[in-house]
């Protein structure tokens, strides 16, 4: 495998990358570098923004100077993407217009490589659209399926980043809570922070955390489980999962935030993955028109509901 090593560089953030997260900015410029290594660079202070340390989630501004350390990139990092995956994602496009693409991400597929994962959705789409400058606008957990938004050029990325910053993108998910919702609409406005257990990162409701708000709307009842729509008003890691667990009703199939007994229970009932699906995105196009994109509930999740009926 051919490797190419780049030296230290000082890169000025162009106008079309205004508002982009630091980790995504680096990932686009260090193609082939594992995501885990990029995070390590940031954590150790090898990446600097205007001479100071920054976080992966730091939003860059046009004109910022980013110090990028030397890194060995895999020149053929996308060579191992199976043809079946290329075909699957090629047929997953739900919307493509004015530099904005929304795809129907399959469950079990990471959005980017790293931590032993050779490639992710972003690598596949860059290979499928080599003439485009594709960037992730937001992320979905590996286990989560559904609407994932990508920008195909810098203008679209800047426009969508501004909408995210101003909470103007409406993101809604279908989920199954392991418990009864007390009301038809439950608004959870609880800050979220990260912690570590046995060296693994978890998120939790914490008064010292970052603001986070999720609105759960009850759709139907399946035995003791509540089928609901979750609307995000912020974008914290594992937000819906953490807020559902805080309510005392973790998502069905959640191995991380549900108790081991409940996870074992659902596993014995044939539940193989987290019941969480990004079913709707609403955003504004460059011409000012509102765009609504929907993704149907996948068959594997429909089967879970059928089994509870």
Report the alpha-carbon distance of residue 241 to residue 173 in Å, rounded. 11
Cβ atoms of 250 and 237 within 8 Å: the answer is no
- Choose, from 23, 135, 141, 178, the residue flagged as catalytic: 141
Q: Catalytic site residue 104? A: no
Q: Are strands 9-12 and 65-68 parallel, antiparallel or unpaired?
A: antiparallel
User: Could you tell me where the beta strands, DSSP code E, fall in the chain?
Assistant: 3-6, 9-12, 48-49, 65-68, 71-74, 93-97, 100-105, 135-136, 145-151, 170-177, 185-189, 192-197, 200-205, 213-222, 225-232, 276-284, 290-294
Q: Using an 8 Å Cβ cutoff, are 216 and 229 in contact? A: yes
- Is residue 170 within 8 A of residue 231, CB to CB? The reply is yes
Question: Which positions are catalytic?
Answer: 141
């Amino acid at each position: 495998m051919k490797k190419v090593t780049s030296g230290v560089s000082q890169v000025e953030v162009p106008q079309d990358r205004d508002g982009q997260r630091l980790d995504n900015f680096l990932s686009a410029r260090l193609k082939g570098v594992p995501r885990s290594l990029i995070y390590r660079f940031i954590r150790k202070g090898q990446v600097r923004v205007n001479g100071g340390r920054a976080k992966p989630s730091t939003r860059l501004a046009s004109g910022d100077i980013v110090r990028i350390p030397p890194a060995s990139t895999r020149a053929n990092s996308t060579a191992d993407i199976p043809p079946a995956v290329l075909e699957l994602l090629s047929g997953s496009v739900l919307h493509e217009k004015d530099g904005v693409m929304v795809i129907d991400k399959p469950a079990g597929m990471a959005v980017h490589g790293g931590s032993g994962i050779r490639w992710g959705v972003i690598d596949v789409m860059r290979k499928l659209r080599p003439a485009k400058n594709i960037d992730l606008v937001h992320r979905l957990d590996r286990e989560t399926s559904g609407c994932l938004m990508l920008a195909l050029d810098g203008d679209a990325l800047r426009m969508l980043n501004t909408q995210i910053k101003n909470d103007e993108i409406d993101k809604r998910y279908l989920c199954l809570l392991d418990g009864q919702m007390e009301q038809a609409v439950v608004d959870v406005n609880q800050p979220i922070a990260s912690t570590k257990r046995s060296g693994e990162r978890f998120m939790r409701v914490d008064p010292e955390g970052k603001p986070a708000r999720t609105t759960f709307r009850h759709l139907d009842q399946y035995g003791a489980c509540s089928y609901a729509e979750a609307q995000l008003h912020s974008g914290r890691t594992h937000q819906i999962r953490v807020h559902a667990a805080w309510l005392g009703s973790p998502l069905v199939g959640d191995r991380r935030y549900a108790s081991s007994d409940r996870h074992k229970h659902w596993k014995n009932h044939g539940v193989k993955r987290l019941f969480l699906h990004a079913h709707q995105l609403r955003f504004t196009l460059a011409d000012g028109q509102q765009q609504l994109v929907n993704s149907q509930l996948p068959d594997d999740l429909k089967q879970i509901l059928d089994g509870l009926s």
